[in-house]
């Protein structure tokens, strides 16, 4: 008697049913959607954001800081944006030049030509003799245009609009530069200002946005806030010291990414990776790269 052959379609159908059954069991156990990538790709993927460049090793927002950050394996170089009196966008965290240069004054009251004469690096050598380098002396302030010209699409950029209320037109000028250099898919923008992010979203919906958040007490975020943020942003960036695994899980379940800031000790990096963050801001991108490599070995 001839044996009846089993149809290939029947064979595949049985396996699909088994897979769906397993996913259903996992969903019932963990109470959330299970990612197929998580099941079949064990690699830990956490984006490394070099905070103001590799600012632990070089003067923040200088060419050296960005270059070291990229060489250290950073996925993004983080750049704070300010506008000069004559409407040029420069890379600087503070709204004055006092802390990180040998000059004084508010950036909005200084021209680019004046700011370009300032030494942005010597202070770092004095404050950090362990990492001091001769090349840091007389480092110059960079414009966003110069940064795009130097690095192009060789890296990604996490731009931050600083004090938009004192920098009218910053969003329009920044988006115009991003579009001029065709870098919309290489740029993300973060800000504490919801209105600034919404303005950018209206100008170019292809630019990914992150809502910066600061917590003085243990972090809590409501469903209503998550829903509102999701209308214009792809993620949130809270201060790491106040968040925990439940907070990160809640944000991710809402469909948003989580990029906490600023994490410099490897013990905290390891904790953040275990909690499932999507990215981390750090002054020491090489340390985070080591943590991610070790996590992928285990």
* Catalytic-labelled residue, pool 51, 61, 186, 201: 51
Which string of DSSP letters, residue by residue, matches 70-86?
Answer: HHTT-SEEEEEEEE-TT
Q: How many helices (H) and strands (E) does the chain have?
A: 12, 9
User: Which is nearest to 252 in space by CA: 279, 271, 289?
Assistant: 279
Annotated catalytic residue 93: yes
Taking the C-alpha atoms of residue 134 and residue 118, their distance in angstroms, rounded to an integer, is 16
CB 211 within 8 A of CB 190: yes
DSSP state of 158: E
61, 93, 186, 201: the active-site residue: 93
Contacts of 168 (CB under 8 A, 6+ apart): none
Task: Say whether 281 is catalytic.
Answer: no
Residues contacting 9, CB < 8 A, separation 6+? none
Catalytic site positions: 51, 93
């Amino acid at each position: 008697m001839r044996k009846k052959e089993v149809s290939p379609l029947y064979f595949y159908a049985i396996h699909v049913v088994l897979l769906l059954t397993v996913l259903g069991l996992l969903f019932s156990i963990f109470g959330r959607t299970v990612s197929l990538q998580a099941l079949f790709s064990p690699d830990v993927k956490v984006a490394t954001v070099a905070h103001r460049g590799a600012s632990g090793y070089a003067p923040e927002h200088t060419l050296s800081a960005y270059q070291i950050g990229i060489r250290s394996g950073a996925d993004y170089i983080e750049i704070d944006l300010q506008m000069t009196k004559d409407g040029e966008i420069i890379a600087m965290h503070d709204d004055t030049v006092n802390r990180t240069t040998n000059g004084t004054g508010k950036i909005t009251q200084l021209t680019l030509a004046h700011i370009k004469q300032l030494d942005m690096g010597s202070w770092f050598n004095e404050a950090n003799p362990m990492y001091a380098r001769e090349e840091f002396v007389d480092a110059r302030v960079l414009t966003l245009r110069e940064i795009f010209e130097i690095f192009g699409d060789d890296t990604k950029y996490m731009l931050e609009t600083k004090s938009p209320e004192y920098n009218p037109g910053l969003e329009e000028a920044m988006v115009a530069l991003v579009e001029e250099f065709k870098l919309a898919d290489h740029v993300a923008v973060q800000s504490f200002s919801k209105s600034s992010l919404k303005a950018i979203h209206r100008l170019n919906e292809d630019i990914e946005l992150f809502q910066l958040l600061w917590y003085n007490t243990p972090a809590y975020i409501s469903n209503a806030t998550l829903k509102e943020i999701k209308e214009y942003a792809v993620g949130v960036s809270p201060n790491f010291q106040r968040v925990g695994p439940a907070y990160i899980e809640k944000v991710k379940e809402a469909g948003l990414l989580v990029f906490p800031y600023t994490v410099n000790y490897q013990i905290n990096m390891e904790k953040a990776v275990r909690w499932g963050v999507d990215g981390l801001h750090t002054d020491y991108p090489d340390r985070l790269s080591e943590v991610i490599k070790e996590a992928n070995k285990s």
